[in-house]
Structure 1
Amino acid sequence: MNMIRLVGIAVLSFSMLGAPITSAQDLTSAQKNAVRSAKNYLSFQAFSRRGLIDQLSSPYGDDYDVADATAAVDSLSVDWNAQAVRSAKTYLEMMGFSCNGLIRQLSSDAGDKYTESQATYGAQQAGAC
């Protein structure tokens, strides 16, 4: 296996765990702009890590490169459990959900894309369970 592939796997592994892989001063200009966009999104709406990366990298969103969006999000200090609670409360303000239904909505790839544990925490803290 070549070295570039190994480095890419290591970076992907760290970013999948949510561990910051770069400091703010090491970011490129595009990544710094993506950080500004991410902070703006988080100021008015809750996002999961994957949901925020998808929003930043979507051609229908900000259209940043996925690697730049990932580096930007991973450079932030975000409490993803707290974001899941915000999302859960928003859903419960709009309509009724069972505990399991809200967890599925929060963790679904077609929904908010929180991890199962974050979705469970959010549903519980929001009072659905």
Structure 2
Amino acid sequence: MNDNQRRAAIASLSAGNERQLEMKKTLLTAVVGGAFILGVTAGCGGVTEDTATPSVAPSAAPSAAPPAKKAPADTRTPGQKNAQRAAESYLATAPFSRTGLIKQLEFEKYSKADATWAVEHVKVNWNEQAAKSAKSYLETQAFSRDGLIQQLTFEGFTAAEAKYGVDKAGL
């Protein structure tokens, strides 16, 4: 598969991932909202008409809850956030080298700075990416060990990552 075919396949998958993410957000909002409503109505207690007393036994005085910890402020720029989301999406659909992923993000019109920042902040094992890439190549083409190492380094994997990937692929 050449770079243009790979980019087209990834762009197609990326559009599907965006729809799937929106559906998950909608479902999560509905579930959280429903749980909140259930919690509020279940915690209200009730008053019976004939006794006018609470149906829930009184509890001890509320304890002082520790102050909530504030999450650290998100200092990412919108470009960095979007580039990081795109990088995570790409990694979920296909194996990439570090430099290959930066180039893909730049192809998608992210700045070099945002693309590099995003790739430095995603959680990824580049050796495992090389192994996935090597296995993918071997599913569709025949390679010698050295030829596959050369192909992986051409894609941007380091020599060590390429050797690891080829070893994991069984060559």
Provide the TM-score with structure 1 as the length reference: 0.74
Q: CA deviation at 1:26?
A: 3.1
The residue number in structure 1 matching 2:96 is 47
Q: Which residue of 2 aligns with 1:84?
A: 130
1:31 equivalent to 2:80? Answer yes
Which residues of structure 1 form unaligned runs of 5+?
Answer: 1-23
Aligned-partner Cα distance in 1 for 2:74–2:130: 28
Task: Give me the TM-score of the superposition, normalised by structure 2.
Answer: 0.56
Percent identity between matched residues is 49
| Aligned positions, number | 99
Cα root mean square deviation, aligned: 1.2
CA-to-partner distance for each residue in 1:64-96, whole Å, 9 max, x for gaps?
A: 000100001101121000000000000000011
Q: Distance in 2 between matches of 1:53 and 1:119?
A: 18
Map 1:48-63 → 2, pairs under 5 A:
48-58=97-107, 62-63=108-109
Q: Among residues 146, 150, 156, which one is paired with 1:113 in the alignment?
A: 156
Query: Which residue identity does 1:104 align to in structure 2?
Result: Q
2:110 is aligned, of 52, 64, 68, to: 64
Letter matched to residue 40 of structure 1: S
One-letter identity of the residue aligned with 1:124: D
Q: C-alpha deviations, 1:37-77, integer Å up to 9, x for none?
A: 1111111100000000000012xxx1100010000110112
Greater C-alpha radius of gyration: 2
